[in-house]
Amino acid sequence: YDDFRPIQKEIVAAVLGKTDVIALLPTGGGKSICYQVPALLMEGLCLVISPLIALMQDQVSMLTSLGISAVSLHSGMNYKAVKATLDRAIQGEFKLLYISPERLQTYLFNEYLPSLDINLIAVDEAHCVSQWGHDFRAEYSELKILKKLRPDVPVLALTASATPTVLDDIEKNLNLVKPARLVHGFYRSNLYDQVENCEDDDIKEQ
Mind listing the pLDDT tens digit for each residue in 36-69? 999 999 999 999 999 889 999 999 999 999 999 9
* Stated pTM of the model: 0.87
| Cα–Cα distance, 114 to 9 (Å, whole number) | 30
Average pLDDT score, the chain: 90
Residue 1, pLDDT score: 80
Q: Collapse the DSSP code of 176 into the 3-class scheme (helix H, G, I; strand E, B; otherwise coil) and give the result.
A: coil
Whether the pLDDT of residue 14 is over 70: the answer is: yes
Higher pLDDT, 201 or 96: 96
Q: Kindly state the helix (H) or strand (E) to which residue 147 belongs, with its residue range.
A: helix 145-149
* pLDDT band at residue 135 using 50, 70 and 90 as cut-offs: low
* pLDDT band at residue 140 using 50, 70 and 90 as cut-offs: confident
